[in-house]
Amino acid sequence: MARRRVFVDVTPLRESRDYRYLYFGQMVSFLGRQLTVVAVPYQVFKITGSSFDVGMVGLVSLGPLVVLSLAGGAIADSVDRRKLLIVTQVALAATSVGLALNAERDSPALWPLFVLTALAAGLSGIDLPTRTAALPNLIRREQLPAAAALGQILIQTGQVAGPAVAGLVIARLSLADAYWFDVATFGAALFALLQMRPLPPEGGGTRAGFGSVREGLRYLRGRRVLQSIFWIDVDAMVLGMPRAVFPALGTNVFHGGASAVGLLYAAPGAGALVGAVTTGWVGSVRRQGRAVIVAVVAWGIAIVAFGFTRWLPAALLFLALAGAADVVSAVFRGTILQTTVPDALRGRLSAINIAVVTGGPRLGDAEAGVVAAAAGLRFSVVSGGLGCVLGVALLSRLFPELDRHTAPVGGAPPTTTLDPSVEAEGE
């Protein structure tokens, strides 16, 4: 029992065959995707020499991400989620093929990096909420916190190994090889999905369309705990996410070239991986909202410390501490979402969450790049971390419900039928 309180609970992987296929297929493809996550900003910086341009890559991706996330959530609540995931994997692989072909040119063009990255962001906005919506139908309800922790292990393993491998591949082989590696790993995800049973939404689903999206947004009104977990993640990622300056820091401050850039991208994932592996205790935490608050404050403080160091090992340590804090926040935010939203709306609410979780860092890229261009790299990082901490203090006052939120007794599931008040809410 003592071991269970420390190390992550792997019961969902033991009990559910389909969950195992979904999990390990995504793990391989996510690892490959991280090579592209590093290769694109590095290539933009090599072409332009500008952190501002690196930040703009994230900003132009925001629109497609948000729009297709909302649409994707509605689609995920209306069709077989397994089939939808197969389509998105094929389309995402095609974007990486385009990036690889561009990188193989004698003089790679800049515009494909913006266009194909934006397209991939939009496709991810469909893919990710679909996976999230399918999860509670693959495992027992009381295993959702454990699955959230396992999901973070998957993500952080990719975010550690992927950037580190990307730095080596780019430095020793080429940018094109990094993109081709990403293409190859989508094959594992497709194979895994083809082994799974169909995943239709409960009750036959709803009709996708603007009205379906609007219904999901209406459900969010008045549910202040859900609103608060979205806003607190926006605060952390927009103000406290310094990754747009990693190419400049790795190249010009730490003087390590592509390898140092890869290590900077990998460090938060390394800390988060350690944090995720040791999340066996999360199921016993009742004050889940307070845990989110504390974790985001710790993230901001670690980013401030990172901004003041000029020694690469110390910088990596502070980024790892930030990553460990972030994974704790992510586990509890994901658990709150999964345990308070009914299946009929889970795709749409998951889509809003994905838009926040993946859109926030892109806004953060733009913020960090603009501030770095105007006031310098150190000011960009330190001011962002301080702003994150102050933002948590403000949000705690605006949303006191978050601090008071506790886990449902016995892991009781939300109702699986739509509340008739959803349509009337906020009128």
> Which tens digits make up the pLDDT trace of 248-304?
888 888 877 777 887 888 888 788 888 777 766 666 667 888 888 889 999 999 999
pLDDT tens readout for residues 220-244: 777 788 878 888 888 888 888 888 8
Q: Which 3 state secondary structure label does DSSP give 404?
A: helix
DSSP single-letter state for residue 140: -
pLDDT at residue 413 in the model: 42
pLDDT band at 427 (very low <50, low <70, confident <90, very high): very low
SS (H, E, C) 86-107: HHHHHHHHHHHHHHHHHHCCCC
pLDDT at residue 1 in the model: 40
Q: How far apart are CA 285 and CA 346, in angstroms?
A: 23
Written as one letter, the residue type at 393 is: A
**DSSP code per residue over 307-331:** HH--SHHHHHHHHHHHHHHHHHHHH
Contact residues for 350 (Cβ-Cβ < 8 A; gap 6+): 73, 76, 128, 129, 132, 133, 337, 341
pLDDT band at 215 (very low <50, low <70, confident <90, very high): low
Question: Which of 92-106, 126-140, 170-184, 393-407 is predicted with the least confidence, judged by mean pLDDT?
Answer: 126-140
Q: How far apart are CA 112 and CA 110, in angstroms?
A: 6
pLDDT at residue 145 in the model: 72
Report which of residues 215 and 48 the model is more confident about: 48
In the numeric block, which tokens belong to residue 310?
């000029």
Q: How far apart are CA 268 and CA 316, in angstroms?
A: 8
Q: How far is CA 30 from CA 24, 89, 251, 281, 402, in A?
A: 10, 11, 26, 26, 31
**Domains assigned to the chain:** 9-409 (1.20.1250.20)
Reported residue count of the chain is 427
For residue 409, pLDDT beyond 60 = no
% residues pLDDT > 70 (the chain) = 85
Provide the mean pLDDT of the chain: 79
pLDDT at residue 302 in the model: 93
Cβ atoms of residues 140 and 84 within 8 Å: no
pLDDT at residue 3 in the model: 46
- For residue 374, how many other CB atoms are within 10 A of its CB? 10
The pTM (predicted TM-score) of the whole model is: 0.63
Report which of residues 48 and 72 the model is more confident about: 48
